[in-house]
């Protein structure tokens, strides 16, 4: 791979984005990432992924503006919401026709496929039973912020870095899912503020509003992300997928529909052999604690962290 570096330690795979000096996202970068994510999705041994950057102090500057400009300049006509929707539908249909995307590219609609490829990367990450952790080692703007939003957890280096959605400053809007994922992570008010202002925010402000989960010393960021990934890799993949589906899909619909999704995912996870073994073992421990006259609160305090770390139960299937 030209733009990615990878390393694997047990169930944790680390991916470094490597397009110096600014680590712009391009169609070529996203193509490599999509291929790699598809491979990971088929590999049951990979349970957690750390996504970071090989460029010092830069996670991703943003998506390549030159590629965006080339894409819209190649279009035969100016698009409005109706014609843009038609172009997206044509691009989807072209996936099922040999040479269809190449034909659209020759007709000046290649940028539509590039946009859909970016969204496919984000979809794979959010629907996967694998935990994705973004280790933001520096600047994360535009498409870089959006790529981090597709991850389940975001750890950011504490330093003079920037994160945000500056697209409006050049007259466009976030195109990699930023308006939708920000709304779901931060709420409509914060999402509107970030997208309308366009001004990047500091890591400390990002932590304050919930855009990132933790700030880490830059020298410890990768180690902390990989340690977190190794811990979460012990979780049941069925439960991980169920939680992600219930939060990402159920959380963006009505409460009634969301609860239906949660119920379905709960029953699915509870029916797995590993969950049945875990619950049976837990009940046996509880019964022995009660028989010994121990206080239940002491049992939970002493025992549960061990369960979470997988020392008492095999969380793999």
Q: What is the pLDDT of residue 108?
A: 45
Distance of CA 217 to the CA centre of its chain: 22
Q: Quick one: pLDDT at residue 317?
A: 42
> Residue 296's pLDDT band (boundaries 50, 70, 90)?
low
What integer best gives the mean pLDDT of the chain? Answer: 86
Nearest-angstrom CA–CA distance, 242 and 162? 33
| Pairing verdict, β 58-60 and 48-53 | unpaired
Grade residue 294 by pLDDT with cuts at 50, 70 and 90: confident
Reported as a single tens digit per residue, the pLDDT across 88-98 is: 665 565 555 56
Residues 193 and 65: their CA atoms lie apart, in Å, by 22
**What is the pLDDT, as a whole number, of residue 95?**
56
106-120, 197-211, 271-285: least confidently modelled range? 106-120
Shortest CA distance to 59 belongs to which of 180, 172, 173, 142?
142
Residue 106: the pLDDT is 45
Name which residue leads in pLDDT, 305 or 270.
Answer: 270
Which residue shows structure tokens 């090989």? Answer: 54
Judge contact between 157 and 221, C-beta under 8 A. yes
In this prediction, residue 68 carries a pLDDT of 87
Give the model's pLDDT for residue 89.
Answer: 62
Residue-range domain boundaries for the chain: 4-65+119-232, 237-308
| Structure confidence at residue 111 as a pLDDT band (50, 70, 90) | low
Position 125 scores a pLDDT of 96
Average pLDDT over residues 275-294: 77
pLDDT of residue 97: 54
Mean pLDDT, rounded, for 150-168: 97
Mean pLDDT value of segment 136-152: 98
- CATH number listed for the domain at residues 4-65+119-232: 3.90.226.10
pTM for this predicted structure = 0.85
């Amino acid at each position: 791979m030209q733009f990615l570096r990878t390393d694997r330690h047990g169930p944790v795979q680390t991916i470094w984005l490597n397009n110096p000096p600014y680590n712009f996202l391009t169609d070529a970068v996203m193509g490599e990432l999509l291929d790699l994510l598809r491979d990971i999705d088929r590999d049951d041994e990979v349970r957690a992924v750390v996504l970071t950057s090989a460029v010092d102090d830069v996670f991703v500057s943003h998506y390549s503006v030159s590629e965006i400009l080339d894409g819209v300049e190649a279009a035969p006509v100016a698009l409005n919401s109706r014609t843009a929707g038609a172009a997206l539908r044509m691009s989807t249909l072209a996936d099922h026709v040999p040479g269809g995307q190449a034909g659209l590219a020759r007709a000046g609609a290649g940028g539509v496929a590039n946009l859909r490829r970016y969204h496919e990367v984000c979809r794979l990450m959010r629907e996967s039973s694998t935990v994705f952790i973004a280790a933001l080692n520096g600047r994360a703007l535009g498409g870089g912020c959006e790529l981090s939003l597709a991850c389940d957890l975001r750890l950011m280096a504490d330093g003079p870095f920037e994160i945000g959605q500056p697209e409006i400053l050049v007259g466009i809007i976030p195109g990699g899912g930023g308006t939708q994922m920000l709304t779901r992570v931060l709420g409509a008010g914060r999402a509107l503020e970030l997208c309308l202002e366009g001004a990047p925010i500091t890591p400390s402000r990002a932590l304050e509003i919930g855009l990132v989960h933790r700030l880490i010393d830059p020298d410890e960021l990768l180690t902390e992300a990989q340690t977190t990934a190794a811990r979460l890799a012990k979780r049941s993949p069925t439960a991980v997928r169920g939680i992600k589906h219930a939060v990402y899909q159920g959380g963006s619909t009505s409460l009634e529909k969301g609860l239906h999704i949660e119920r379905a995912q709960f029953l699915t996870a509870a029916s797995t052999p590993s969950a049945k073994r875990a619950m049976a073992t837990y009940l046996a421990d509880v019964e022995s604690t009660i028989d010994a006259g121990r206080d239940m609160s002491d049992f939970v305090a002493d025992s549960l962290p061990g369960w979470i770390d997988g020392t008492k139960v095999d969380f793999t299937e």
